[in-house]
Amino acid sequence: MSETNTPASDASQSSEVPEKFHRKPLSFVRRGDRLTPRREKAWEQWAPSRILQVPRQVTDTSVAEHASFDQESVYGRMAPLVVEIGSGLGEAMAHRAAEVPEHDFLAVEVYTPGLADLLMKSAANGSQNVRAVQANAPEVLDHFLEPASLDEMWVFFPDPWHKKKHHKRRLVSAHFVDQVASVIKPGGTWRLATDWQEYAIQMRQVIEADGRFENLNPGPLATDSAPDQGWAPRWEGRTLTSFERKAREAGRIPRDLTYRRRTD
């Protein structure tokens, strides 16, 4: 989500980062990780069992190529797996995990206070099915998750990087679509939302150009004369977060997109 997906470029953390880590701009800017007393208490209590440890390549949000995710070992069962990229303050995941305890949920986030909030909220809901990995999302998709292992993927309110010179930092790109297509099961669902119309249009363009995803609410791209065609209705499973509420108060209209991974 935009308010928490601005954790600082890993490249700024070390002067010895190999050149390959500078080639692709990150979709986030690292924010401060200082915890309030409540968040610190939640982190100390729940992080050891619910924040997954992954081998790092160079930086503290990187994922080594030999990393692996054993869902059965992590959750003690095999169940439908839902992954959220950029879980922010954990509102959406904690809410849905309590509603659907028969599913497993994995948050991918770099912002420590946000993860601490997710731990607090899921514990308050009594949810035993939430885990998180603190890492750069593209590396999680490349090195951590197994191919065709996800039943559902969420990308809600990623940083829009609205200045044109920063569009290269946007998470949802053709390369990212290719990564998502590799980890979602055939027939699996990809849900997205953004409150920036121009970014919403770009999302549709790059996802639908890939060809491996079917828009479950097809229609022509929005125009001045037909602004609401082709968008999904607001998904009832996504709780109204503080961020979305602020976006609406500012006059921005959130757009939902729902895709299915093609089976052919």
Q: What is the pLDDT of residues 36-75, one digit of tens each?
A: 999 999 999 999 999 999 999 889 999 999 999 999 999 9
Distance CA 57, CA 59 (A): 6
Q: Quick one: pLDDT at residue 32? A: 61
Q: Quick one: pLDDT at residue 227? A: 60
Residue 133 · residue 54 · CB < 8 Å: yes
- Provide the pLDDT confidence category of residue 181 given band limits of 50, 70 and 90: very high
Does a structural domain hold residue 18? no
Does a structural domain hold residue 23? no
Task: Say which residue, 161 or 63, is predicted with more confidence.
Answer: 63
> Averaged over 12-33, what is the pLDDT?
47
84 among annotated binding-site residues? yes
Per the prediction, the chain carries an average pLDDT of 87
Domain count, the chain: 1
Does a structural domain hold residue 39? no
244 among annotated binding-site residues? yes
The set of residues, in sequence order, having a beta carbon less than 8 Å from that of 96 and lying 6+ positions away, is 82, 105, 237, 238, 239
Tell me which residue range forms the domain holding 170: 46-261
159, 178, 256, 264: the active-site residue: 159
> Averaged over 242-257, what is the pLDDT?
91
Does a structural domain hold residue 30? no
Does a structural domain hold residue 27? no
Q: Would you say residue 19 has pLDDT above 80? A: no
249 among annotated binding-site residues? no
Q: What is the CATH number of the domain that holds 239?
A: 3.40.50.150
* Residue 159 among the catalytic residues: yes
Q: Would you say residue 197 has pLDDT above 50? A: yes
Does a structural domain hold residue 83? yes
Q: Quick one: pLDDT at residue 155? A: 97
Q: How far is CA 128 from CA 20, 74, 105, 139, in A?
A: 38, 11, 10, 26
Q: Quick one: pLDDT at residue 6? A: 37
Does a structural domain hold residue 255? yes
159 among annotated binding-site residues? yes
Residue 230 · residue 221 · CB < 8 Å: yes
Query: What is the reported pTM?
Result: 0.86
16 among annotated binding-site residues? no
Does a structural domain hold residue 9? no
> Averaged over 188-206, what is the pLDDT?
94
Rounded to 10 deg, the angle between the 91-99 and 112-124 helix axes is 30
